[in-house]
């Protein structure tokens, strides 16, 4: 296909102009508004943004699952390179083909390890189920594979874990089991939607280390969703920042961290403590003034303008910035990024 | 789990004992002097005294109760005042009819309620139809529903015989054909009730994260609905089924009457109107025991279905 956004480069997923609109009783909610991005093979892309910015919705759209929790209209193109080498548009797949993508090409782990496992089935049956759904194996082989996966997850007593029910496991153990479920069919992309938010700091670090180890071993790509930029820096190669359903900045992690161009990213960076780097005594966290805009009433122009210290009346509240390149592999959506970067803006 | 069952059994015994006593004394109070009732207002004191003598009504209530319990343990529940028939015999004749009617009806109601509210594909069209069926089941009185069914299937379509009930001894075909309408009638209400309970729980369960996880594994909507959502949503229905079956040991009076079925419900009603003290007491005991036993069974089933309780 000549129009393929993927052809000829190394990207695994190429999302173009993705828009997800929910019909709610209060009116339409544009949860994702024209977002484009690529995920390269084997890379880790961090998706950062405040609550409600559309991170989960965008990620679910990759698996054709954005519309499952409500009535949704989904537009745009989600090109996915399949394991077999051919390419598909997730947005145009039949329900049957979508099921082949889910779990097999793209797997997902969620924020709540406590409720991610079905309380009435054992760990073994929940991993085996994922395996047998996509591969023709005997039940014995699937069990052996499940055991191996649990072992790989660093679970102390995998055989015992196999026959356990979810409520018998700790949060960290459950998240390990969830990762085992996700990895069972060797997906080429793992979507991790705030996988450590519900866990305490020590366990959080262990899970991050585990994800990194598994990635080195399998070469899968990870889309790591977090509202913690510090965590993004720990794990990701590239980062993209979403605000009110739009992508506002993306680039290599080091670049985005050293030279954040979008005022929102700058405030985010200043407002969040970093993993493993405790705040210095006396250093204060800068709170972002104002509130996250309601998804029902998105501010005109640049959606960030009511909270932006660089906002210029008649400009920022009227013209929506488009995403443009601001450096090698670095893009930003801000009308004044040049002035701000040059230190000319006030 | 075993300890839980044993514990429940041990608490069930005093409950049964206490309810018998309560039932015995309240029935005595409500129905008043049995001899007076039996002989009518114009009975001579001598006749009443003779009767009191014969049945032991003149003894203190506590002594009468003790005698009743002692006899009950030997399977002797006394004789009916009106028919002079053995009460235990009358009850054992009625119970199979009522139990069969109850089992079929609850089975039909529960499985229809669960399956119809789980099927994902036609859901949008089905939800409306199921809601209507719920509404009909809960609001339309059983006698009306029963008579409408007779009118529809026997009078109008001529598919089913209208002449009441037939025992198994008339042949399984005859028996079962006559079972259809009573079962439909009795299950309607329970279908509606189970449906509402199940659907509310199912909606909750469908929002839980593991449902999204199951879909993300690539499972079909049917598999997610029946394998992952159903077992989690079915628990309150199990409890409700237990309660309903317990209550129905006392018979389904209206359904049994409309379809002339010799079940415990009809026995109970005729015993009350005939002031037939031993029969009222025996059926009452049956209901109390039925309720307790069915609740216990429901709890056990609930525990089996829910690993969270099973392993604690
Ligand atoms: N099923 C739905 N129906 C209606 N609105 C929805 C639905 N799902 C999400 N939304 C809305 O879309 C917006 C984006 O939600 P989303 O869950 O993608 O945000 P998020 O960035 O993942 O937030 P969080 O950090 O809280 O997980 C929110 O305003 C949310 O209210
Ligand atoms: S466009 Fe204007 S309001 Fe938006 S981030 Fe840039 S300066 Fe701030
Ligand atoms: Mg989210």
What HEC string does chain A produce? CCCCCCCCCCEEEEEEEEEEEEEECCEEEEEEEEEEEEEECCCEEEEECCCCCCHHHHHHHHCCCCCCCCCEEEEEEEEEECCCCCEEEHHHCCHHHHHHHECCCEEEECCCHHHHCCCCCCHHHHHHHHHHHHCCCCHHHHHHHHHHHHHHCCCCCHHHHHCCCHHHCCHHHHHHHHHHHHHCCCCCEEEEECCCCCCCHHHHHHHHHHHHHHHHHHCCEEEEEECCHHHHHHHCCEEEEEECCEEEEEEEHHHHHHCCCCHHHHHHHHHCCECCECCCCCCCCCCCCCCCCCCCCCCCCCCCHHHCCCCCCCCCCCCCCCCEEEECCEEECCCCHHHHHCCCCC
CA-nearest residue to A187 within chain B is B217
A124 touches B at CB < 8 Å: no
Residue with tokens 């004749």: B93
A254-276 confidence digits (pLDDT tens): 999 889 999 999 988 887 665 44
Domain-wise residue ranges, chain B: 2-73, 87-305
Cross-chain residue pair B213–A68, CB shorter than 8 Å = no
Per residue in B228-260, pLDDT tens? 999 999 999 999 999 898 888 877 888 888 888
Residue A31 Cβ < 6 Å to ligand 1? yes
Q: Which residue of A has its CA nearest to B232?
A: A120
Chain A segment 252-291 residues within 8 A of B by beta carbon are none
Distance A343 CA to ligand 2 centre (A): 14
pLDDT surpassing 90 at residue B66:
no
Spatial separation of the C-alpha atoms in residues A104 and A281, rounded to whole Å: 47
Tokens of A25: 């009783």
Inspect the interface and report whether the beta carbons of A178 and B213 lie closer than 8 Å.
yes
- Residue ranges in chain A whose pLDDT is less than 70: 1-9, 69-70, 272-290, 345-346
Chain B neighbors of A135, CB-CB under 8 A: none
**Whether the predicted pLDDT of B48 surpasses 80:** no
- What CA–CA distance (Å, rounded) separates B208 from B212? 7
Question: What is the pLDDT, as a whole number, of residue A47?
Answer: 96
**Token pair of A183 as six digits:** 């990895």
> What integer pLDDT is reported at residue A26 of this predicted model?
87
Q: What is the pLDDT of residue B111?
A: 96
List beta partners, residue A225.
A47, A193
What pLDDT does residue B32 have? 64
Q: Is the dihedral of CA B136, B140, B145, B151 positive or negative?
A: negative
Q: Which CATH class is domain B87-305?
A: mainly alpha
Disruptive mutation site among A63, A120, A164 for chain B (greatest number of B CBs within 10 Å): A120
Contacts of B219 in chain A (CB under 8 A): 99, 129, 133
| Chain A residues lying within 8 Å of B308, measured CB to CB | 119, 165, 167
In this predicted model, what pLDDT tens digit does every residue of A130-145 receive, in sequence order?
999 999 999 999 999 9
Question: Can you tell me which atom of ligand 1 is nearest the CA of A20?
Answer: 12
Q: Which of B215, B232, B307 sits opposite A102 (nearest CB)?
A: B215
How many angstroms separate the alpha carbon of residue A334 from the centre of ligand 2?
5
Pairing of strands A87-89, A106-109: unpaired
pLDDT value at residue A70? 67
DSSP strand pairing (A246-252 vs A238-243): antiparallel
Instruction: Answer yes or no: is pLDDT of B139 > 90.
Output: no
pLDDT for the residue A3? 52
Tell if the CB–CB gap between A65 and B214 is shorter than 8 Å: no
What number is the ipTM of this complex?
0.88
**pLDDT value, residue A116:** 93
């Amino acid at each position: 296909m000549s129009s393929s956004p993927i052809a000829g480069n190394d990207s695994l997923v190429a999302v173009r102009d993705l828009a997800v609109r929910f019909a709610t009783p209060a009116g339409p909610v544009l949860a994702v508004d024209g977002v484009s991005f690529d995920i390269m093979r084997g890379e880790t892309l961090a998706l950062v943004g405040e609550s409600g910015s559309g991170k989960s919705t965008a990620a679910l759209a990759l698996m054709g699952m954005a519309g499952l929790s409500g009535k949704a209209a989904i537009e745009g193109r989600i090109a996915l390179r399949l394991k077999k080498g051919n390419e598909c548009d997730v947005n145009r797949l039949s329900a049957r083909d979508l099921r082949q993508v889910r779990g097999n090409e793209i797997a997902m782990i969620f924020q709540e390890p406590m409720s991610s496992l079905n309380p009435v089935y054992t760990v073994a049956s929940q991993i085996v189920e994922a395996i047998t759904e996509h591969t023709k194996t005997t039940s014995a082989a699937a069990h052996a594979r499940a055991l191996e996966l649990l072992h790989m997850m660093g679970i102390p007593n995998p055989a015992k874990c196999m026959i356990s029910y979810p409520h018998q496991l700790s949060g960290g153990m459950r998240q390990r089991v969830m990762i085992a479920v996700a990895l069972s069919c060797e997906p080429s992309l793992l979507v991790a939607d705030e996988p450590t938010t519900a866990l305490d700091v020590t366990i959080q670090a262990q899970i991050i280390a585990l994800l990194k180890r598994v990635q080195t071993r399998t070469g899968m790509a990870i889309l790591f969703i977090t509202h913690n930029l510090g965590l993004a820096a720990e794990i990701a190669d590239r980062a993209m920042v979403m605000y009110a359903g739009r992508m506002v900045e993306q680039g290599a992690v080091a670049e985005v961290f050293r030279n954040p161009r979008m005022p929102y990213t700058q405030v985010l960076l200043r407002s969040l403590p970093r993993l493993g780097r405790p705040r210095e005594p006396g250093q204060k966290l800068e709170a972002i003034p104002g509130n996250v805009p309601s998804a029902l009433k998105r501010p005109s122009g640049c959606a960030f303008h009511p909270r932006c210290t660089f906002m210029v009346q008649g400009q920022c509240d009227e013209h929506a910035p488009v995403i443009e390149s601001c450096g090698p592999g670095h893009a930003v959506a801000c009308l004044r990024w040049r002035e701000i970067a040059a230190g000319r803006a006030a | 789990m075993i300890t839980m069952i044993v514990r429940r059994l041990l608490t069930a015994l005093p409950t049964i004992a206490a309810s018998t006593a309560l039932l015995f004394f309240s029935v005595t109070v409500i129905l008043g002097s049995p001899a007076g009732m039996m002989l009518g207002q114009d009975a001579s004191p001598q006749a009443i005294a003779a009767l009191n003598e014969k049945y032991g009504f003149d003894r203190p209530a506590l002594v009468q109760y003790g005698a009743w319990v002692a006899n009950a343990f030997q399977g002797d529940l006394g004789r009916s005042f009106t028919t002079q028939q053995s009460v235990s015999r009358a009850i054992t004749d009625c119970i199979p009819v009522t139990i069969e009617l109850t089992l079929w009806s609850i089975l039909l109601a529960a499985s229809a309620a669960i399956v119809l509210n789980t099927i994902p594909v036609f859901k949008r069209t089905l939800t409306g139809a199921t809601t209507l069926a719920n509404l009909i089941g809960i609001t339309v009185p059983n006698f009306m529903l029963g008579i409408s069914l007779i009118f529809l299937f026997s009078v109008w379509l001529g598919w089913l015989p209208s002449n009441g009930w037939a025992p198994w001894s008339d042949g399984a075909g005859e028996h079962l054909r006559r079972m259809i309408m009573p079962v439909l009638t009795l299950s309607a209400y329970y279908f509606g009730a189970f449906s509402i309970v199940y659907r509310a729980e199912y909606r909750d369960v469908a929002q839980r994260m593991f449902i999204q996880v199951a879909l993300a594994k690539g499972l079909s909507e049917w598999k997610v609905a029946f394998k992952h959502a159903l077992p989690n949503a079915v628990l309150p229905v199990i409890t409700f089924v237990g309660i309903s079956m317990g209550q129905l040991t006392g018979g389904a009076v209206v359904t049994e009457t409309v379809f002339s079925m010799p079940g415990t419900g009809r026995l109970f009603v005729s015993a009350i109107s005939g002031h037939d003290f031993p029969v009222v007491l025996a059926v009452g005991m049956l209901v109390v025991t039925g309720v307790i036993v069915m609740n216990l069974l429901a709890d056990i089933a609930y525990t089996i279905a829910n690993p969270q309780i099973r392993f604690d």
